[in-house]
Amino acid sequence: MSTRLIGLSLGADLCWPACFEEIVKRLSLQLELGSETVDFAVERVRIEPYDIRYKPRYDMVIDRITHWFPMTREWVKKIQVMDGVYVLNNPWMIQAAEKHTTYCAMARLGFPVPETWIIPPKAYPDQGDVPYTTRTYNDLFKLENIGDAVGYPAFLKPYDGGAWRGVSRVKDHKSLHHSYNESGEQVMHLQKAVDPWDIFVRGIGIGPQVNVIKYNPDAPLHGRYEVAFNFLSAEEWQTQARYVRVINAFFCWDYNSCESLRKGGILYPIDFANACPDSQITSLHFHFPWMVRAMVKWSLYCAATRRKPKLNPNWQPYFDIADQDIPFAEKLEAYDALARDHFETEKFEAFCAKHLGHVDEVCMEFFGTKECLEIFRKKVAHLYPKHEVDEFTNHFFGLVQFWRKTESEKQAQKQAQALPNWTGGKAAV
């Protein structure tokens, strides 16, 4: 028996890791892979000093803190470079591909990215070579000219993003100057607002799997991901799913979210470098089980097949498509073919069909248990005042029960469609 060990590199995550661990345990997998019988174990990664030549025990790692915790980021780099461990997500691309890079790359591919300018910092540190360099080489500019070029309303925001840090909506020259004066030493983007828009969506991608969710950025955290159905046409849903899968494959991300606004029937991607997206029951609620189930399936596939990390993204095939004189919809379909190949989609789906056919059933059962309820309670207690814990625990658990109901109905519908239509003992033609 050979064991594939999945490491969870965590920060303040509480609920999804506990659910992930419990589901993998309940699956009790023993897979015949070639000449091996393989089972799976999950372990939480500890932070400690290490010799760079030590050999890690993990077959794959799900990492959630390299974006802000340097010790873990450097450990993740070590186990990828020296040991070939597959890590979700690629630490180099999280570090290097900030919002500015993603805007430039997707604009290069022809995505309808809104008009975006980058603006030097308002202030600079008075130290070292900085004063001389800025005096010598920084061109003076009129901020209002940039505002006119972009158009109002617009959003002024740091070029590297980060949890809505420093974002302000500006409507004229006066508000633009005020927000820029408040931005300090940050390099800023000024981006044209998609206004008016009629729908806001967020697509979550895990490997080749994508879930598109209606989103309300103005709601409280627990209400932003809406429970809604049929809010996009099939073509629009496919477009948003392709946006997510292409962006993730392009930047070698396994887990990322992409926001888009619809205006005039066009989905404009506005924020798509979120490689540590919302993963908690207190934000995802109804959509939380999908995320956990998708993470279980992709992680088991990567660990079972010992998927190798792709440390150097290959962008040229995308650029070759971008340079063709064909409509963007055809380019997007071709980009998606590259993305599906990157994620080994056909192999993944065949693996799930052969080895993970009972994952849906196990997840359905688990998300209705008292153990699941208590996991939710611990997360809620971590964020909410004591007098609201029972109320919100029951609220989130209730939404998950609604998810179980809708999933059951979907499964029943699929089974009915797979059966022949019998009428009076004879098959209906």
pLDDT digits (tens, 9 = 90+) for 88-106: 988 887 777 788 999 999 9
Helix residue spans in 97-158 (DSSP H): 99-108, 130-137, 143-150
Per-residue pLDDT of 289-332, as tens digits, reads 999 999 999 999 999 999 998 888 999 999 999 999 999 999 99
Q: Could you tell me which residues come within 8 angstroms of residue 67 by beta carbon, excluding any fewer than 6 positions away?
A: 73, 94, 95, 275, 276
> In this prediction, what percent of the chain has a pLDDT beyond 70?
97
Question: What value, to the nearest 5°, has the Cα angle with vertex 182 and ends 180 and 183?
Answer: 65
Beta-carbon contacts of 282 under 8 Å, excluding residues fewer than 6 positions away, are: 15, 221, 222, 379, 380, 383, 392, 396
- Return the pLDDT at 163: 65
**Per-residue tokens: 51:** 């010799």
Q: Are 245 and 340 in contact (CB under 8 A)?
A: yes
Domains of the chain: 1-89+370-429 (no CATH), 115-192 (3.30.1490.20), 199-369 (3.30.470.20)
Nearest Cα to Cα of residue 345 among 240, 206, 211: 206
Average pLDDT over residues 239-246: 98
The confidence band for 144, taking pLDDT boundaries of 50, 70 and 90, is: very high
Give the per-residue pLDDT at 67.
Answer: 73
For residue 429, name the pLDDT band (cuts at 50, 70, 90). Answer: very low
3-state helix vs strand vs coil in the chain, percent to 5:
45, 20, 35
pLDDT at 34 over 80: yes
- Which residue is it, tokens 């505002």? 147
pLDDT at 13 over 50: yes
- Cβ neighbours, 10 Å, residue 64: 21
pLDDT tens string 275-291: 889 999 999 999 999 99
pLDDT digits (tens, 9 = 90+) for 148-162: 999 999 999 999 876
Amino acid at residue number 275: A
